[in-house]
A and B are shown apart, each in its own frame.
Chain A
Amino acid sequence: MPTYLYCLVDPDAELVLDDLAGIDGGAVRLLRAPTMTALVGDVGEGGVAPTAEHARAHDAVVRRAMTVTTPLPARFGQLFPDDAGAAASILGRAPRLERALALVRGCVEMTVRVRLDEAERGDEPDMTPAVETIGVGPGRHYLLELQNRQKVEQDMLLSSQIWQSKLSELVGGEVLLERLGPGSNESRTAVFSHLIRRESAEKYRQALRGANVGGLMVSGPWAPYSFAGDADVE
């Protein structure tokens, strides 16, 4: 039966997993290595479908770890032939994973979604299409639509940069690391992920509430998914 990976934690984390169920109700157990511990579970042979229920179950295990320590969340869907296979893969990347754990230790992630079309417009760029495409042939229509999409993307990028600066003024003192995206051109949304100290979460929220700025949507604290890195990328 394949071994499913939920997250990694420090080896001295005191986790109680008695009543914790993972994906499809499977039991969660600890896989101990010298410098880190993995939270793993059993799943069916056919893999794990990316459903909302399964995503919640994955995050629930990660959040249990968050109650006592800072987990390094694994991306959804990682399977190994068995516990030995999982342990071998983890140990093979131990130095990188240890660095990643050290980076996020004591931290949580906050996510800020900015609806650019609801935000302050005083200094917002013009987001109307560059060129009208009515009444032109299909080939030219395609090229003009492409040009318009590129303009929207450029405007979105500029707006995101403006909001990056605004957020820096509001919460920059609490932010250790920031990641941008992916947002959505269709919904005109930019997404910022902030790594902050765990104890700063309420101060961070209050700073955004106190600013009373429209168009902001804050969620968190999350486990530091956006800052967990990719152990296969140098």
Chain B
Amino acid sequence: MTGVFDPGESDEQLVLADLLNHVLDRGVVITGEVTISVADIDLVKVGLSLMIAAVETTEVVQRRALLKRQQNADVSVLPRRP
């Protein structure tokens, strides 16, 4: 693909990849349960590696948040989904 690309004119797949990249891997994180189900996900094939990276990022945030909560023992932690 060459030239400047305007998502309003072409290539929905690439726009979806950008959407997933923004929504799943960016944005402010406030400590809470970032609950994302990995099983039975229904993803467009493009951006699957992106999805994996986004989930890994979320897991890092979750572990960091859990560690912080454990250090501040007055905060209750919701049980993880089985």
State the A residues within 8 Å of B (CB). Answer: 2, 5, 7-8, 46-53, 55-56, 58-59, 72-81, 85-86, 89-90, 92-93, 97, 100, 109, 111, 113, 115, 118, 182, 184, 186, 191, 205, 208-209, 211-219, 222-223, 225-226, 228-233
Contact = CB atoms under 8 A, between A and B. Distances in A.
B7 A55 contact: no
Interface string B19-31: 1111111111111
A5 B6 contact: no
20 contacts: A2-B33, A7-B27, A8-B28, A46-B81, A48-B35, A48-B36, A52-B20, A55-B19, A58-B23, A75-B58, A79-B35, A80-B33, A109-B22, A111-B21, A113-B14, A113-B18, A209-B4, A212-B4, A225-B23, A230-B61
A86 B32 contact: yes
A76 B24 contact: yes
A89 B45 CA distance: 35
Contact of B18 (A75, A76, A111, A230): A111
B4 A77 contact: no
A208 B34 CA distance: 37
Contacts of A113: 5, 14, 18
Best-buried of A48, A191, A232 by chain B (most CB within 10 Å): A232
A50 B41 contact: yes
B24 to A, nearest CB: 5
A86 to B, nearest CB: 7
A115 B37 contact: no
B32 A229 contact: no
A124 B17 CA distance: 26
Given A50-B36, A100-B28, 11 more contacts: A7-B27, A48-B35, A48-B37, A50-B51, A50-B54, A52-B16, A74-B27, A75-B34, A77-B34, A217-B4, A228-B27
Contact of B28 (A51, A73, A215): A73
